[in-house]
Amino acid sequence: MQRKLVVLYFIVLLAFVGLGVRIIYINKDHGESYKRQVYSQQKYNSSTLPYKRGDIVDRKGSKLAYSEKVYNLIIDTVAMHEDEGKYVEPTLSAIKKYFPEVDVAAVREYMEQVPTSRYKKFAKNLTYDERQAYLDYEEAAKKDNTAEGGDVLKDVRGVWFEEDYKRRYPYGSLACDVIGFTQGNNLGYFGLEDYYSDVLNGTNGRRYGYLTEDSIVEQTIKPATDGNTIVTTLDTNIQGIVEKHLVAFNEEHKNEAREGNGAKNIGCIIMNPNNGEVLAMASYPFYDLNDPGNLEPFYSSEELAQMDDDEVSQARNQIWKNFCISDTYEPGSTAKPFTVAAALEDGDITGNENYNCTGALEIGEHTIHCHNRLGDGPLSVTQGIQKSCNVVLMNVAFAMGKEKWLKYNRLFNFGLKTNVDLAGETNASSLVFNESMGQTDLAVGSFGQGFNVTMMQIAAGYCSLINGGYYYQPHFVSKILNSEGATVEEIEPRLVKQTISNSTSDKIKDMLRSVVMEGSEGTGYTARPAGYTMGGKTGTAEKLPRDKQNYLVSFCGYVPADDPQVLIYVVIDQPNVLAQDNARLATVLTRDIMTEVLPYMNIFMTEELSEEEKEELAQKQQTFSITAGSVSVNEIGEMVSTENGGSSAAGTSEDSETEGNTNGRSENNEYTVPGMEEDGVEDGDDEGENESAEEREIKFDAETGYPIDPNTGQVLNPDTLLPVSGSTSFMD
């Protein structure tokens, strides 16, 4: 008997388990269908009260995203057919009058096909005024059937309004890559909207109606719980300045060397290097957050007509992704300070070493060239960074070996996610070197080739290089508030680790200072905003496939040079110019941005202005200014292209006089080293790198006008700096 009871117990238990599984399955696959059936049977006695999704605000409280109450028009077919259908025509006439966007013929057809329906949505996102005009008519009809002016009102019935919320982005495209957007049911896509979706979302409420014993209708309301607001570290004004100059660069170089935008991608990150706060992040082109699916600004009508659904989806995802965290690339010379910092920290070099740059090093069976194939002669480590010498960096890397290089490469988080609080970050773990790397890999890795990074990884790593060695997790949100404005959570800066010591950081800052502050001796001197001290490093990397001669140029810098308060990282991917390997494009864009950002941040000038700088600043003061987000991207572009003496776009200043000079000569016919990279392994920072060549009195062949190598006497091709009688490759 006891055994039978046990068996029966388990049978009942299994039945309940099976029933539970079945209910879960039905709810998952058919829940919405059954919900609609319930709605179709209700008679105003039960309805959902939607929650309001929390706001996204900048560090000063400006709303970047908020939810506005809207209304959906619901048709109750049963109510409209009451009293032998006397309400049908008056109600349809009222709908046609007050909601012209609603197809009345479709409403009539639905009423005939589904006469028992009590819930059918026919219009969405109606404003308060649109709804109220209809309700006023309905109320007047119930009272005396006479409107002002003597018009006869007819009773209407069967229309009611469901509350909902629509996401609004008051600044349009501003910070689109950071904010992201929402679609149906408050689902966040990309950026903060996606990453913090659970924080921003609340819980729906419910309104219940029931009859008492006296047949009196009563209501019970379970209120909705609104979502929380996130306070970001973004500054809309800084973001606006950055985006303005990215648009200016695009307008300046649009259709210049090829049909299309001024570059394949343009990215910029501005951070506080002392706590990991991101003040601005932008990657061009931008899209309108209020209409994210619209591809018309990016493709012609003919192109759109030829796209199938998959191609449309791919095109949208390409526009929506954030270049600063989603795309990877070889960093080029911006990685050189990391190599030197690692060697200094481990004691493999002191920083006082000198190396002789002859223009190349033989590594096994390979010849790896410097950007200046003529060589720079004896250089200190600081001069190697200043002039961006590959030979110096290779020797530094050899001094510490691949094990230590790999150790610090990982310590600076290359190949790993920074865990920035944005959706869509790539880690590039499969695109970095590992223990199988050889001596050649170490050589090219020392100057930023052969492995991939993201913009966020470089920016976060640089912050630790210059702030004393402290690696902070980059972040966008500083505080979470509830719907009443009370603080729910304070998000403090998160110190993850220490990458290098304070003393090593000080040495690196001195080296980076020389890149910008030592005049044309350094590759980054055109990045310095007038009146400020600055440190930083340029980068030029040839992209794969190497034979296509496509380049990515960049600059990572900070101000002031001795006490970093703000860091900026600019990347221009395949600039639309004849000579892409021109780091000056990135340095001049940096200067234009920082010239506006620094005064806004109350970081004051400390350096005496030259007459040329005074004139430049006076000209910049005549340019247009915008309040962040107050104009659209298209308007900004029009203003840039028509503004007389507009903001100095990259490549338009006096410092860019050699841009596009593909034969390696400047206007005064003096030879300049063009910074070409063979097979993409030597980083071509092409600023301030002809000085040593001039000091060595380069002569030119009388017949061809080509330069003569002072070491070998051979005539060189000015585009490649290879002997005209033959050529060699990187792997020769």
Average pLDDT for 347-367 = 92
Tokens of 257: 């060397």
CB 727 within 8 A of CB 713: no
Distance set, CA 96 to CA 113, 147, 633 (Å): 20, 18, 37
Instruction: Please give the residue that has the higher pLDDT: either 600 or 731.
Output: 600
Average pLDDT for 149-175 = 83
Q: Which residue do the tokens 């979502």 mark?
A: 227
pLDDT value of residue 544: 85
pLDDT value of residue 218: 66
Banded pLDDT at 325 (limits 50, 70, 90): very high
Tokens of 355: 């190396």
Tokens of 48: 């959902």
pLDDT tens-digit map of 509-562: 999 999 999 888 899 999 999 999 999 999 999 888 887 889 999 999 999 999
Measured in whole angstroms, how far is the alpha carbon of residue 539 from the centre of its chain?
Answer: 20
- pLDDT above 70 for 709: no
- pLDDT above 60 for 49: yes
Residues 6+ apart with CB under 8 A from 436: none
Q: What is the DSSP string of 544-578?
A: SSGGG--EEEEEEEEESSSS--EEEEEEEEEESSS
Instruction: Please give the residue that has the higher pLDDT: either 20 or 327.
Output: 327
Banded pLDDT at 724 (limits 50, 70, 90): low
CB 382 within 8 A of CB 511: yes
Question: What is the share, in percent, of the chain residues with pLDDT greater than 90?
Answer: 57
Average pLDDT, the chain: 83
Tokens of 212: 């008492």
pLDDT value of residue 704: 54
Tokens of 231: 């306070």
Banded pLDDT at 674 (limits 50, 70, 90): very low
Picking from 391, 382, 387, the residue whose alpha carbon sits closest to that of residue 356 is: 391
Amino acid letter, 241:
I
- pLDDT above 60 for 172: yes
Residues 6+ apart with CB under 8 A from 494: 276, 472, 473, 475
- pLDDT above 80 for 505: yes
Q: CA 555, CA 535: separation in Å to the nearest integer?
A: 10
pLDDT value of residue 317: 93
Identify the bridge partners of residue 230 per DSSP, sorted by sequence position: 56, 480
**Rounded to 5 degrees, what are φ and ψ at 557?**
-145, 175
Picking from 448, 442, 607, the residue whose alpha carbon sits closest to that of residue 530 is: 607
pLDDT tens-digit map of 53-82: 999 999 999 999 999 999 999 988 888 888
Picking from 504, 693, 688, 476, the residue whose alpha carbon sits closest to that of residue 582 is: 688
Could you say which DSSP state residue 665 is in? B
Distance set, CA 54 to CA 51, 166, 420 (Å): 9, 12, 21
pLDDT tens-digit map of 3-37: 778 788 888 888 888 888 888 878 777 766 665 55
Q: Angle of helix 584-600 relative to helix 236-253, nearest 10 degrees?
A: 150
pLDDT tens-digit map of 387-420: 999 999 999 999 999 999 999 999 999 999 999 9
47-232 and 236-696 have identical folds: no
Q: CA 583, CA 687: separation in Å to the nearest integer?
A: 7
Other C-beta atoms closer than 10 Å to the C-beta of 370 total: 28
pLDDT value of residue 213: 57
Tokens of 383: 């001069």
Other C-beta atoms closer than 10 Å to the C-beta of 33 total: 9
- pLDDT above 80 for 289: yes
Distance set, CA 647 to CA 246, 262, 591, 593, 652 (Å): 11, 16, 11, 9, 10
Picking from 373, 375, 364, the residue whose alpha carbon sits closest to that of residue 441 is: 364
Q: 229-232 and 56-57 as β-strands: parallel, antiparallel, unpaired?
A: parallel
CATH of domain 47-232: 3.90.1310.10
Number of H helices, E strands in the chain: 23, 25
Give ∠ CA 43-44-45 in degrees, rounded to 5.
Answer: 90
pLDDT value of residue 266: 97
Q: CA 445, CA 331: separation in Å to the nearest integer?
A: 10
Encode 230-251 in three state secondary structure.
Answer: EEECCCHHHHHHHHHHHHHHHH
Average pLDDT for 681-686 = 47
Instruction: Please give the residue that has the higher pLDDT: either 139 or 725.
Output: 139
Distance set, CA 181 to CA 32, 57, 64, 169, 425 (Å): 24, 14, 11, 9, 16
Average pLDDT for 185-189 = 91
pLDDT value of residue 708: 67
Q: What is the DSSP string of 652-701?
A: -SGGGTTTT-TTSB-TT--B------STT-S----SS-SHHHHHTT-EE-
Comparing 111-115, 478-482, 726-730, which segment has the lowest mean pLDDT?
726-730
Q: CA 408, CA 427: separation in Å to the nearest integer?
A: 16
With residue 489 as reference, give the H or E element that holds it: strand 487-490
What CATH superfamily is the domain 236-696?
DD-peptidase/beta-lactamase superfamily (3.40.710.10)
Banded pLDDT at 639 (limits 50, 70, 90): very low
Q: What is the DSSP string of 6-33?
A: HHHHHHHHHHHHHHHHHHHHHHHHHHHH
Amino acid letter, 529:
P
Q: CA 681, CA 440: separation in Å to the nearest integer?
A: 10
- Structural domain boundaries of the chain? 47-232, 236-696
| Sign, Cα dihedral of 446, 449, 454, 459 | positive
Tokens of 168: 């609004």
pLDDT value of residue 656: 37
Q: CA 584, CA 592: separation in Å to the nearest integer?
A: 12
- pLDDT above 60 for 150: no
pLDDT value of residue 73: 92
Calculate the CA dihedral of residues 375, 377, 380, 385 and round it to 10 degrees: -20
pLDDT value of residue 670: 32
Q: What is the DSSP string of 46-95?
A: EEEEPPPPPPEE-TT--EEEEEEEEEEEEE-HHHHTHHHHTTHHHHHHHH
With residue 142 as reference, give the H or E element that holds it: helix 128-143
Comparing 129-138, 341-350, 440-449, 670-679, which segment has the lowest mean pLDDT?
670-679
Q: What is the DSSP string of 186-214?
A: GEEESHHHHHTHHHH--B-EEEEEEE-TT
